[in-house]
């Protein structure tokens, strides 16, 4: 499956730390990848950096049945 959820921001895990400074720590974030493994790592990292309302979307895009944008 190619694409992303409408309204989502797509950031590769390799660039995640650099983009993290642009995010508000008090906002709610839902993090998703293909299966949930990389998004879990991203959620844990966000928590270490002071984000308190982050959620790993499991099982990820591999079973997403909602809308997709190219």
CB neighbours of residue 12 within 10 Å:
9
Q: Which option is the CATH number for 13-63: 3.40.250.10, 3.40.1010.10, 3.40.50.720, 1.10.3660.10?
A: 3.40.250.10
Q: How confident is the model at residue 3 (pLDDT cuts 50, 70, 90)?
A: confident
Q: What is the value of pTM for the model shown?
A: 0.87
Cβ atoms of residues 16 and 42 within 8 Å = yes
Q: Distance (Å, rounded) from C-alpha 54 to C-alpha 31? A: 7
What are the residue ranges spanned by the domains of the chain? 13-63
Q: What is the pLDDT of residues 23-70, one digit of tens each?
A: 999 999 999 999 999 999 999 999 999 999 999 999 999 999 999 998
């Amino acid at each position: 499956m190619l694409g992303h959820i409408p309204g989502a921001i797509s950031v590769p895990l390799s660039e995640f730390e650099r983009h993290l400074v642009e995010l508000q720590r008090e906002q709610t974030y839902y993090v998703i990848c293909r299966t949930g493994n990389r998004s879990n790592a991203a959620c844990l990292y966000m928590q270490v950096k002071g984000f308190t309302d982050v959620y790993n979307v499991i099982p990820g895009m591999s079973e997403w049945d909602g809308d997709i944008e190219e």
